[in-house]
Each structure stands twice: as structure tokens, then as C-alpha cells.
Amino acid sequence: MRTSVTILGSVALLTVGYVAGASQLLSPAIVVAQTDAAKPAAENKSGVEITEESKIKIKAAADALRLAMDSLIDEGKYIPATKGMNVFAILTGGANTIRDLEAGAVVDPETFAALYANLATDQVAVSLGRDSDGRLTYKNKVIRMYPVSMLRSRYAVRGDITGEELLPTASDVSGKAKPGAKPDADATEKKSDEPPKE
């Protein structure tokens, strides 16, 4: 009797497991990390809600950037590898991103993002691929972003051109002062306003 109960229980458990698995009763829902690019977007294409006034100002800024881009193209200082305007390259005095790709596949941040967003020009797109880790490649070289020193240099040029104050901070992300970093004037003034400690 005991053996038959054990066998019957095992068969019942196996049957329940088979039915639950076949019907995917306990399976988690399908999870998708990214939206399907083929599906049309909701009412607002960008997903960003802005006022009509802001849209007009952004359009005016884009028109001004387009004029600057055309000027840089005429001077031979702007050769894009991607579709659309490269605002980073325009505001930093131009860039030859085709040459950057050819020289070592190291590009500015906006070109890097646009290439990953499938916005390469036709000339560049034919030489793009992926490595075994899924990283984007140009002629079998992994595409990388400018090193930090180059980014700082380009932002310094941008500050000179636009008049923006784009000086690096005296401390790094962790909040520790960098060796040789000078304290800013505001911090020095605040210290001098404090009464001396006895």
C-alpha cells in the first residue's frame, strides 16, 4: 500500500508540474528592456513636454547653430560622420569626425551617441560593425569617446568661443581635493568672513 501511494503521489506531482509548465502558468511576463523602434510613438514624439514658447526658442537656437555649422563647413572645419547637427563640434569650433574615426575610432560624445543611435552617414555606416562584446566598431576598431584630457581641452575652447565659464571644479566626484588644485575664490572669501578660532 505504501509503495502504491508513493508512486501515485509521484505521478500526480509530475502531472501537475507538466501541466503548469506546458501552460506557462507560473512563467514571468515577457520583459523588454527597450521599446520597439518600429512601433509608432505616443502623441508626443520626443516624450518631453515643453511649452510652445520654448519650442520657438529652441528652433531659433537650432537655426543659429545651423548657420554656424555652415560657416565651419565653408572653412573646412566641420566634417560630420553622423546625420543632423553635432552641437558639441559646432560649439567647440568644429571637428573632422571622419578623420577621428579613421585615425583610431576616438570621437566626441555627440558623435559617439549618434553612432550608437544608428545615425551614421551612409559613408560611415558601411564600415560599422559590432565586436564579440556588442561594442560598435569602425573598420574593426572599437569606437571610443575622447579621453578626459581631450574633453577638457574642447570644453576650454568652447568657453573661449561662447564666453561660458567652463572651468573644471577643484574637487573630483568623491569630494576630495585634487593634488595641486587651487581653492576657488568664493571658498577663500567664506573662510575669511568666519571669526578666528581661539
For the chain, what is the mean pLDDT?
Answer: 77
pLDDT tens profile 105-142: 888 888 889 988 988 888 888 888 888 888 888 888 88
Angle, vertex CA 176, rays to CA 184 and CA 171, nearest 5: 35
Give the global pTM.
0.59
User: Coil, strand, or helix at residue 198?
Assistant: coil
112, 106, 110: which is closest to 92 by C-alpha? Answer: 110
For the stretch 159-174, pLDDT in tens is 888 888 876 666 555 5
Q: What tens digit of pLDDT does each residue of 105-114 get?
A: 888 888 889 9
- Please report, as a single letter, which amino acid is at residue 139: K
How far apart are the C-alpha atoms of 96 and 121, rounded to whole Å? 13
Q: What is the pLDDT of residue 60?
A: 92
SS (H, E, C) 8-71: HHHHHHHHHHHHHHHCCCCCCCCCCCCCCCCCCCCCCCCCCCCCHHHHHHHHHHHHHHHHHHHH
DSSP 177: B
The pLDDT tens digits of the residues spanning 25-75 come to: 666 666 555 655 555 544 556 677 888 888 899 899 999 999 999 998 889
